[in-house]
Amino acid sequence: MEDLKAVIDRISQVSGIFELAQETKFTGYLDGVGEIEVTVRDRATNDRTRYSVSARTLDIEPERIAAGNPEADLDMAIIGVHWNKLKN
């Protein structure tokens, strides 16, 4: 596949859609909570909002959601998620 930025730029150019991002989803289990889905969004930009990370419970009603601020660095976006909100 081509570079992610090139793909996003081309889709935007042809379609007029903006604020595009590639989403990657992960699932796992958290003790006492159950199954969790984590979503990583990559806007393929070189600014401070490139990555955003969120998580949600899949086994609890109503679902619990945790998120952080968008960051330029993926590691910082992961660290910034309020993971404790999934447990409370």
- Structure confidence by residue, pLDDT tens digits, 32-69: 999 999 999 999 998 999 999 999 999 999 999 999 99
Number of domains in the chain: 1
Its domain, for residue 29, covers 22-86
% of the chain with per-residue pLDDT over 90 = 90
Does 17 map to a domain? no
Tokens 């991002």 belong to residue: 21
Q: Does residue 45 belong to any structural domain of this protein? A: yes
Residue 9 falls inside a structural domain? no
Helix, strand, coil shares, percent, the chain, to 5: 25, 35, 40
